Structure 1
Amino acid sequence: MSVELDEVRRFLAGQEPFTHLPDAELRSLPSSMTMTYVRRGQTVITSGEDNDHLYIVRSGAVDVMDDSGVLLDRRGTGDSFGYSTMLPGRGGHGGNSAGSAGSGPGTAVDDHGPSRYTMVAVEDSLLLVLPGEALVDLVGRHPDIARYYSGLSVRIRADSERLRSSSGADMLRRTVADLGTGSGAGTGAGARDGGRVLVTVDSGVTVAVAAQTMARHGVSCLPVVVGDRLVGILTDRDLRNRVLAEGRDAATPVSEVMTPGPVTVEPHTTVFEAMLRMSDLDIHHLPVTDPEAGGAPVGMLAASDVMRTLRSDPIYLAADLSKATTAAQMRRIVKDAAQMAAGFIERGASPDEVSGLLTVGLDSLARRLLVLAEEELGPPPVAYGFAVVGSQGRRAAGFASDQDNCLVLSDDYDPDAHGDYFRSLSDRVCDGLAEAGQVRCPGDMMASNPAWRMTAGNWARTFHTWTTAPEPDAVLHAQTFYDMRVVHGSRELVESVHRSAVASAKGSGRLHAQLAALAVRREPPLGVFRGLVVRRGGDYANTLDLKKGGIAAVVQIARLYALVAGVTAVGTGQRLSAAAAAGVLSQQGARDLTDAFGVLTGLALRHQARQLRLGEPADYAVSPDSLGRIERENLRDAFGIIKSIQSSLATAYPVRST
């Protein structure tokens, strides 16, 4: 056997379903195969066309899509595709269903047929190719091969039917309780009703006992309890970093090394919301607690559970970023995520859900670039936090969102000793974001601008200046930075600055008046008789700007009321709800503004999704003629709500708005 064939044999020996073949079969199989190279974007199998080859991914990745372009699965190294068009029973992943009713072991028939699905390489890929006749012969000798592929075919067909019968909104609204899968520490949400029993440890046991419990049950994370009350979690990372790395004794109590007071989710929490929390906090496990049982832990949700369930969501592509190392890879993943997000808004997902998905992707991109920068530059000399502001900070990224970010540095920062490091880190990240497709901020509100790299103390003093002596130009900066949210590094540094800024802004009447002036500066394009007023000339003739005349006004109004109430929330909907709860905005006003914001962002995202499909730059310029009658009425109502609130603000804060 040649070196090349022996290498293929060894590769197949480690992959299902070939790993169980006799050695003699494994030795002869490679000689029946060829190897082919496909470039990223190349179609390997087209829906509706005949296929008579089995493909095994040696390296790279191939997407399986239905005839409407919905991603059903991604096949990576060691995975196979194309098998079902050659195995008995029509209707599987490639067109036929291997092992369908009536086809028992040893009854394989050379039944080549058209594929139901399209397979496209999403990376430059090397594929092993086995002719259909050879596959049929192999299945005749080893029926387990057919049974293995039958299971895959049934799953992919079920996924296809599920996606065809449900909108993107249905997928995104799936709850933790719906997962029904465990993280290795219990079931995703139902440790009480159908999965493995949740494994917990008492806070008083030793780390040795906890490690033995992990090993015995095959889990990587344990909820730590006192009675039925959750007090912390212990992960294998905690054991490595806080026990082994620090040389602690095996008799150390778990309470000394656990992560106390962990963030939790409840069974009714959506998987999407849970994923946002994991992404935002850069964690991989969330305990599931039941409020009806006094907050007792009932399960453990792991990031791997979510990824397995949402393989066809943009969140899955965000996970790919953790492996990306080149600008081209990141640019491709970000582009794919945008295309998939466009599909979700087109299939009925809410604006909040789609904006959240886009935000997760951009957060993951920034986080990956920061990790790569730290690997290249070395560990940061002092603690820092990389924060996003503006729409990304509010978790409201759109298809046209540009960069808005900054650095919060420890007060131990020395410009002479540490300046070069953080300048290089910021340049790498902002350059990388631009190369991946997130355009630079036209106002240069980015960490690459030295003005937006400050110590926590300097940030606090800057916010104090904005608060106590709010000049109009300064307020333009201030309003964006009140949306500050950490995505990497020290959470405490960023959140302490933000808490301090909100606290100082709460009692600043002058700042409130300036923010109110900004909120009423651009009135909605609504005429005296509720007519939609369009622009008359230029590149955007006969269109209206959904952002300047509507979305931005709601964002500014929500920010103002949140600061008046001293609320640290950054999302527009959250701010409006919190302001109403605090009594600074009426409940009806909060509901009306939330509805108006949903209408406007929904129209904007659908408009931008269409532009994305056509290869056009995304903008907010919508022609009323392109809208249906109900959409135009909703748009008029939304603009009317905003105009009414603006009138109230002008009365409450009589500052000249021009």
Structure 2
Amino acid sequence: MRPMSDPAPALDDSLTLSTTPVRALLRRAPVCVPPELPIRAAAQRMREHGVSSVLVTQDGALLGIVTDRDLRNRVLAVGLDPQRPVIEVATTALQTVDIGDAAFDALLLMARLNIHHVPVTDGGRVVGLISSTDLHQRQSDSAVVLAQAIHQQDDVEDLRQVASRIGALQRQLVAAGTSAHAMGRVVSAMTDALTVRLLQLAERKLGPAPVPYAWVAAGSQGRNEQTAKSDQDNCLVLDDAYDEARHGAYFEALARFVCDGLNACGYVYCPGEMMAMTAQWRQPLARWREYFRRWIDTPDPKALMLTCVFFDQRFVAGERSLLETLRAEVLARTPSQRIFLAHMVGNALTHTPPLNWLGHLQTIRHGEHAGTIDLKHGAIVPIIDLARVYALAGGIAAVNTRERLLHSAESGEISAARARDLVDALEFLTTLRVQHQARLLEAGHAADNHLRLEELSDLERRHLKDAFAVVKDLQGVLEKRYLAGRL
């Protein structure tokens, strides 16, 4: 680990991982052992094959993983009988990647959760195992080392110092020409890592959670589209065994510790208080079901706003099934709710690209931002809103905007050509935004979303108009599809 006073680690060719499939990293078949095999025999199997981990499987099903670290910490250090079944010391709450996933996805998974081995599956069947060593051989340790530094800190002040390096990492990514899509995922992974570590520190202070919970990211973090120093949007989905009288104080303290910690690390409190430290957003699964049912059945303006935030939910830590159950139920219902979808389209049309009736770029006329274009609300949010409507209409589980658009093309919600247009527009507009912010930060100013046209070349201005025209055209298509005769 580098000293915390050092600048953010340098970036090299790590971005090639975004195009390298996981299958390219597989060098051998996985070493598998049955769950009843004695621990000593499993260790001997690891030595024979020269591996640092084995997978525990039964009838082709993956049950767990045992690593050198597990043997040290769970067997030798505690004096456990090595004749006990190996499944007793295995990690059974496993994260996996698909053989066709990008190696970049595996890197971010390891960075976010501070794990070093990930099983690889193909159609549900285990076909291999990749380690952090495999990934280190392909790229530098920029994001990985920063995530490892996060997981090594034992108090909020030290976490704050490590988190201060995320902005520098983002600026280096911009300078290296990183795609906006990849950059958003890297920065979001750092926020995830901070959240996971804060949860660990909270449980160290408060004790283990009395009932299962899922810590959930929403908003830009939920979509894996975060930029450095965003505000925070999060919530807690609690098991239905939760009882306010017995468990309320614990989860209030847990949520406050994490949200306060994120704020100290630069992720400021949500102005609308849409955070787990707010009692309304720290509820059992049954209550979350009621929330979404009410928002869908009674889509008033507040309900639409909340749907926009909380439909963009992504699991971060805890019990994954709590969120997956909720999202599956919501997605099974939304495609048939045409009135709800019409209201979502109407809400989406409140954010329109800044083009006048002649198709020319139109800057803000009054106020402190006069003469600028709002790259967030006038450029990127309209695409996010379109993709969300497509996902709701198609029952699409993807949360990331780019992935929603691509899946929507597959499901027929939008043509493949128009989906590609929106993906390209999103990438271009987001790149303009992060480049603009990087220039401000380099000059010692606070980052914002207000771009002056003189910052752009003539070619970039033409691309900007083309991107806005694509968005405006597709907003018109949805308006005709859902709001014809209503407005």
TM-score past 0.5 threshold: yes
Shift of 1:572: 0.6
Determine the structure 2 residue equivalent to 1:263. Answer: 96
Identity %: 33
Greater relative contact order structure (CA < 8 Å, 6+ sep): 2
Instruction: Report whether the alignment pairs 1:421 with 2:250.
Output: yes
Match of 1:567 among 396, 415, 418: 396
- The CA distance in 2 between the partners of 1:172 and 1:433, in whole Å, is 28
Determine the structure 2 residue equivalent to 1:602. Answer: 431
Q: How does 1:102-501 map to 2 (within 5 A)?
A: 169-170=15-16, 173=19, 176=22, 188-191=25-28, 198=29, 200-203=31-34, 206-208=37-39, 209-217=41-49, 219-224=51-56, 231-236=62-67, 250=83, 252=85, 259=92, 263-266=96-99, 269-279=101-111, 283-288=115-120, 297=127, 299-303=128-132, 305-306=134-135, 310-501=139-330
- The CA distance in 2 between the partners of 1:230 and 1:547, in whole Å, is 45
Residue identity in the other structure for 2:31:
T
SS of structure 2 residue aligned to 1:569: coil
Pair member with larger Rg: 1
SS of structure 2 residue aligned to 1:397: coil
Shift of 1:286: 1.7
Shift of 1:447: 0.7
2:390, 2:404 within 8 Å by CA — same for their partners in 1? yes
SS of structure 1 residue aligned to 2:164: helix
SS of structure 2 residue aligned to 1:465: helix
Determine the structure 2 residue equivalent to 1:593. Answer: 422
Shift of 1:329: 2.1
Flag the 1:628–1:640 CA change in 2: closer, same or farther, 3 A.
Answer: same
Flag the 1:251–1:60 CA change in 2: closer, same or farther, 3 A.
Answer: closer
Flag the 1:424–1:253 CA change in 2: closer, same or farther, 3 A.
Answer: closer
SS of structure 2 residue aligned to 1:445: coil
Q: How does 1:80-119 map to 2 (within 5 A)?
A: none
Flag the 1:71–1:321 CA change in 2: closer, same or farther, 3 A.
Answer: closer
Shift of 1:62: 6.9
2:111, 2:148 within 8 Å by CA — same for their partners in 1? no
Residue identity in the other structure for 1:200:
V
Determine the structure 2 residue equivalent to 1:102. Answer: none
- The CA distance in 1 between the partners of 2:102 and 2:246, in whole Å, is 46
Shift of 1:212: 2.8
2:114, 2:147 within 8 Å by CA — same for their partners in 1? no
Residue identity in the other structure for 1:214:
M
Unaligned runs of 5+ in 1: 1-56, 73-162, 179-187, 192-197
- The CA distance in 2 between the partners of 1:584 and 1:386, in whole Å, is 31
Cα deviation, 1:256-293, whole Å, max 9, x if unaligned, reads 96749962343x754321122335666432234689xx
Cα deviation, 1:565-615, whole Å, max 9, x if unaligned, reads 111110111111111111122112211111111111111111112222223
- The CA distance in 1 between the partners of 2:16 and 2:215, in whole Å, is 33
Flag the 1:310–1:440 CA change in 2: closer, same or farther, 3 A.
Answer: farther
Residue identity in the other structure for 1:616:
H
Determine the structure 1 residue equivalent to 2:335. Answer: 506
Shift of 1:538: 1.8
SS of structure 1 residue aligned to 2:358: coil
Cα deviation, 1:6-27, whole Å, max 9, x if unaligned, reads xxxxxxxxxxxxxxxxxxxxxx
Shift of 1:642: 0.5
Determine the structure 2 residue equivalent to 1:153. Answer: none
Flag the 1:391–1:278 CA change in 2: closer, same or farther, 3 A.
Answer: same
Residue identity in the other structure for 2:322:
L
What CA RMSD, in Å, does the superposition of the two structures yield over aligned residues? 3.3
TM-score of the superposed pair, with normalisation by structure 1: 0.67
Shift of 1:433: 0.6
- The CA distance in 2 between the partners of 1:437 and 1:260, in whole Å, is 31
Residue identity in the other structure for 2:96:
V
Flag the 1:174–1:490 CA change in 2: closer, same or farther, 3 A.
Answer: same
Flag the 1:271–1:416 CA change in 2: closer, same or farther, 3 A.
Answer: same
- The CA distance in 2 between the partners of 1:367 and 1:657, in whole Å, is 46
- The CA distance in 2 between the partners of 1:471 and 1:365, in whole Å, is 35
SS of structure 2 residue aligned to 1:599: helix
Flag the 1:62–1:473 CA change in 2: closer, same or farther, 3 A.
Answer: closer
1:401, 1:438 within 8 Å by CA — same for their partners in 2? yes
SS of structure 1 residue aligned to 2:472: helix
Greater helix share, structure number: 2
Flag the 1:521–1:248 CA change in 2: closer, same or farther, 3 A.
Answer: farther
Residue identity in the other structure for 1:646:
Q
1:318, 1:337 within 8 Å by CA — same for their partners in 2? no
SS of structure 2 residue aligned to 1:458: helix
Residue identity in the other structure for 1:374:
E
Unaligned runs of 5+ in 2: none
2:233, 2:275 within 8 Å by CA — same for their partners in 1? yes
Residue identity in the other structure for 1:634:
H
TM-score of the superposed pair, with normalisation by structure 2: 0.89
Flag the 1:539–1:560 CA change in 2: closer, same or farther, 3 A.
Answer: same
Shift of 1:310: 4.7
1:544, 1:622 within 8 Å by CA — same for their partners in 2? yes
